[in-house]
Amino acid sequence: MKRFLAFVKKEFLHIFRDIRTLIIIFGIPVAQILIFGFVVRTDIKNAGVAIMDLSQDDVSRKLTDKIISSGFFLNTGYLSNYTEIETEFRKGNTRAVLIFGKDFGRNLTREGKAVMSIIADGSDPNAATLITNYTMAIVRDFNIDIAGPALSGSGVIVPEVKMFYNPNLQSHFTFVPGVITLILILICALMTSVTISREKEFGTMEVLLVSPLRPVQIILGKVTPYFLLSFINVILILLLSWIVFDLPVKGSLVLLLAETMLYILMSLSLGILISTISDTMQQAIFISFLGLMLPTIILSGFIFPIENMHQVYNLVSMIVPPRYFIVIIKNIMIKGTGLMFVWKETLILLLMTIFFISVSIRKFRLRLE
């Protein structure tokens, strides 16, 4: 028994001396609790809503104030006519538009019933459902508040819900763009980092480093096959989404493919950067999966709206490249927007690509020297 206890004590000492083991045992669970606790939320917070108040009466103003002051919504502006709705949605900051008709207050007073419209952005079905449910709950509370002496107990506001871009709230409007984003960054970054790390691990990288090839040529030679194969993969996914899920590309197909090529190039350059800091294939795989898969799923807006997250994680998500590509692909595929609506996200991806490539080339040059 003493030998067994001594052996257990020795194992404890080995564990406590190994910082990496302690991080895995204690650090990862703590990080997951914090991340999932502040990011994975089934409620909404600061969801952007625009107001179209054609009535401009006391009742419509009070209801608008009640909705905005609830803490769930953020006023993104006021609209004056119906033609501005689609433009507002394309900007990307507005999740829903609340519409009060011209005779809203008058109908409520005279007829005891008034209709308001809730038009939600159906490109994200989960968020659209939450927003409409929260809004209707606030309207129900408001009905209870106003059903008093002023309106003889007969005033009722009836909300009508409509979904923009996705009237039937089909889930593949969310998952097809998200899956494309996830697959591309995982395949491109993972395969590239593993390929280069394998040559470093087996010693064949030294042959390349002493060859007449320049670092730029070595990098281009590594990424070109994966670039072409990933581009073919994107075309297959778009065809499947059109044939199987009846999800066509509403915007410019040329623009979508160009943006996709930029994202593939960014993912490949990120994979090369990962390979430069990894000595073995196992390290490259671990960094690629842990550093790319979880942030893409959790922090990119793929499943959980970014505005619902804690401010710290909202800031952290700004360095996650998939966050910007999801905005681009949803705008082009589902909303049919052009480059003028996604130029900021495109510029950010371009700058990230240049940064990753520059750092990778510099590290290769240092190895050559």
Could you report the per-residue pLDDT of 282-328, keeping only the tens digit for each?
777 777 777 777 777 777 777 777 777 777 777 888 888 888 999 99
What is the reported pLDDT for 308? Answer: 72
Q: Mean pLDDT of successive 10-residue segments in the chain (369 residues)? A: 69 69 63 60 78 86 88 87 86 88 82 86 84 88 68 65 82 80 83 74 60 66 78 85 82 91 89 79 76 78 75 80 90 88 92 87 59
d(CA 276, CA 278): 6
Side chain identity at 157, as an amino acid letter?
I
Are the CB atoms for 63 and 139 separated by under 8 Å? yes
Mean pLDDT of the chain: 79
User: Exposed, middle or buried, 84 (CB in 10 Å: 0-12/13-18/19+)?
Assistant: middle
Sheet holding 156-164, edge to edge: 73-78, 47-53, 96-100, 113-121, 156-164
The pLDDT value given to residue 152: 41
Asked if 181 and 296 count as a contact pair (C-beta separation under 8 A), the reply is yes
- At how many degrees (to 10) do helices 172-202 and 281-288 cross? 160
In degrees rounded to 5, what are phi and psi of residue 293?
-70, -50
Look up residue 17 and give its amino acid: R
CB 121 within 8 A of CB 104: no
Q: What is the per-residue pLDDT across 76-120, written as a single tens digit (0 to 9) for each?
A: 888 888 888 888 888 888 889 999 888 887 888 787 788 888 999
Non-local CB neighbours of 23 within 8 Å, separated by 6+ positions: none
pLDDT at 349: 93
d(CA 122, CA 144): 29
Q: Which domains does the chain have, with CATH numbers?
A: 2-39 (no CATH), 47-164 (3.40.1710.10), 172-368 (no CATH)
